[in-house]
Amino acid sequence: MNRIFLFWTLLLGVFFTTTLSAQNTLRYWIFFTDKGHYQELSYQQQETVVRQLLSAKALERRLQRAPQSLNKTGLWQDLPLEESYLQTIENLGFKIHIRSRWFNGVSGYASAEVLEKIARLPFVEEVAPVRRWTFQPEEYHPMPPGTFRKPSLTDTLDYGDSEFQIQFHNINQLHQKGLNGEGVVIAMFDTGFRLTHPALQHLVENGQVLEEYDFVNQDAVTANEEGDPKDQDSHGTITLSTIGGYLPGKIIGPAYGASFLLAKTEDISREVHLEEDNWAAAAEWASARGADIVSSSLGYSQFDAGEGDYIYQDMDGKTTIVTRAANYLAERGVLVVNSAGNEGRSAWYHIIAPADAPLTLAVGALNSSNQVADFSSRGPTADGRIKPDVAALGVSVFAAYPPEAYVRVSGTSLSCPLTAGISALVLQAFPNLQLLQLINIMKNSGDNVAHPDNERGWGKVDALKAWDIARSLSAPPADYEFTPPWPNPYTYRGFPLHFLVALPHATTIKLSIYNLLGQKIREISYPGAAAQNYLSWDGKSETGTPLPSGIYFYRITADQAQETGRIVILR
């Protein structure tokens, strides 16, 4: 669609819901056509620029879990924005709020007159409104002051009233093995965090909070500050305590020893909503700082009046801004664990973004009887994939509440951090796991593996079973093992094609793609470990061009062993 036509379509749609003037305060995305002078740099120069933007931990994670993310295509996304483009739109009157390298654009504020001028610039691809998201809130039940339960005789930690949720998932079994998430970096995306709560003070005292950032107010304060609603940081405090709280006799989270990156992404001042660009910006921020896992107890489908809702067909794993950002995180080796949503009682009913992303671990909610909660969002995705992926306790979960209280909360916002915490324990025990391995381990630990469905996915996650599966995968096989690619036929939906190769010892793995004439059109080398290895291919040629529909052949070689097969691509 012509960008001027698109602009006026958007503009007219907004005009009838709110008066536009020179003082228009609606937020817009400006997407650019290219990366400016950075595109003229050599591959080596681009790689140098990108490496300087990543922490040592982030670079280590990408080299280990997603080496393909440092290829030419991946590097292009990570290149900085062209400063001259930014200067030009600012000079025209656009006030920048968020910069996004991955989306090659910015969000911010401008009048209709300014936006019209920007839409006509030769380096502007598209002008689009930022959307505000609404979702079903959780149910809070305050806990009266009193004595907390003592631990079971079989446990060495005093879980207090968090005992049931810990034992429900066999998390205590991994705690007894000495696992607490230490060495794993978890990024939390939420409303804000009250670190002065007694259940969270250990995170500050032990230096476990690596960094905080408020993407709403653009400062380093994620607790409530002047102008914030009273309950702004309540939801984030609840989810952080669920995964990382530690106050023996009251609450202990699964990954109380992990390190955390805290991102305040949601502004609750206008009812309950989130602006999509904050989540996307937090994704880039967390990835660059070395996050291993993102725990996001947020989900988005419908918006405030006049914002233009997404529809169910948009829950296809590739459309919404947050889903695309989650895909980009996965491409860089970051596990995204996200609430499936609390829409089960509503007209929407289905999962909400970014739970629809193919490599996002979407988590539904269970009650204490291991039944799916009626409010838990159901699948499938709009393109027919099973969701949620797994399920965890989401009814009457015990959590901390600011300033120093405790509550029982019901919602997928609680099942999400419990699952993310288990993932962190598994990753601590087996740090060489690749992203797809970790996702499959979590799914295969479920109690519904034999018949996954759109109610509970692969079922209730079991921490001990996940640890046991990971241990078996970490042992090298007796011989080379090749598994056919998945999915095949391959329809590009914003995620790559995957191959599984198990090696008896560490060696280089080479993947070659050929067309029907036998011409080699892509070759990728991967560092193979003495265990299972997941290879990925983005369906593109050596030049970064998506391959057209057709039949192709692949060859995987490792030492003298090799495997060949056919791939069908459908565009």
CATH number for the domain running over 139-472: 3.40.50.200
What local confidence, expressed as pLDDT, does residue 21 receive? 37
CA 308 to each of CA 61, 339, 342, 352: distance values in angstroms, whole numbers, following the listed order:
38, 23, 21, 16
Q: Collect all residues with Cβ–Cβ distance below 8 Å to 81 and sequence separation of at least 6.
A: 32, 35, 36, 99, 100, 101, 104, 105, 106
Q: Where in the chain is the domain with CATH 2.60.40.4070?
A: 481-569
What local confidence, expressed as pLDDT, does residue 22 receive? 35
Judge contact between 169 and 460, C-beta under 8 A.
Answer: yes
> Tokens in use for 372?
């799916």
Q: What are phi and psi of 104, to 5 degrees?
A: 50, 55
Q: Collect all residues with Cβ–Cβ distance below 8 Å to 454 and sequence separation of at least 6.
A: 378, 379, 380, 386, 387, 388
> Tokens in use for 261?
């990156």
Q: Which helix (H) or strand (E) holds 555?
A: strand 550-558
> Tokens in use for 519?
């011409």
Rg of the chain (C-alpha set): 23
Helix (H, G, I), strand (E, B) or coil at 533: strand
Q: What are phi and psi of 409, to 5 degrees?
A: -125, 145
Q: Which helix (H) or strand (E) holds 132?
A: strand 132-134
DSSP tag of 131: P
* CA proximity to 149, closest of 256, 248, 274: 248
DSSP tag of 70: G
Judge contact between 435 and 536, C-beta under 8 A.
Answer: no
Instruction: Give the number of other Cβ atoms within 10 Å of residue 432's Cβ.
Output: 13
DSSP tag of 244: H
What local confidence, expressed as pLDDT, does residue 468 receive? 94
Judge contact between 447 and 171, C-beta under 8 A.
Answer: no
Angstrom distance (rounded) from CA 288 to CA 99: 14
What local confidence, expressed as pLDDT, does residue 219 receive? 94
What local confidence, expressed as pLDDT, does residue 309 receive? 63
Judge contact between 82 and 30, C-beta under 8 A.
Answer: no
* CA proximity to 63, closest of 333, 292, 440, 430: 333
Angstrom distance (rounded) from CA 305 to CA 209: 37
Sites in the chain below the pLDDT cut of 70: 1-25, 132-137, 143-155, 270-274, 300-309, 492-495
What local confidence, expressed as pLDDT, does residue 6 receive? 37
Angstrom distance (rounded) from CA 253 to CA 356: 27
Q: Which fold has domain 481-569?
A: Immunoglobulin-like (2.60.40)
What local confidence, expressed as pLDDT, does residue 432 receive? 86
Q: Collect all residues with Cβ–Cβ distance below 8 Å to 326 and sequence separation of at least 6.
A: 283, 294, 336, 338, 354, 357, 359, 360
Angstrom distance (rounded) from CA 553 to CA 568: 9
* Angular region, 537: left φ>0, alpha ψ -120 to 50, beta rest: beta
Q: Where in the chain is the domain with CATH 3.40.50.200?
A: 139-472
Judge contact between 157 and 246, C-beta under 8 A.
Answer: no
What local confidence, expressed as pLDDT, does residue 306 receive? 46
CA 188 to each of CA 159, 170, 258, 285, 368: distance values in angstroms, whole numbers, following the listed order:
22, 23, 12, 12, 25
What local confidence, expressed as pLDDT, does residue 562 receive? 93
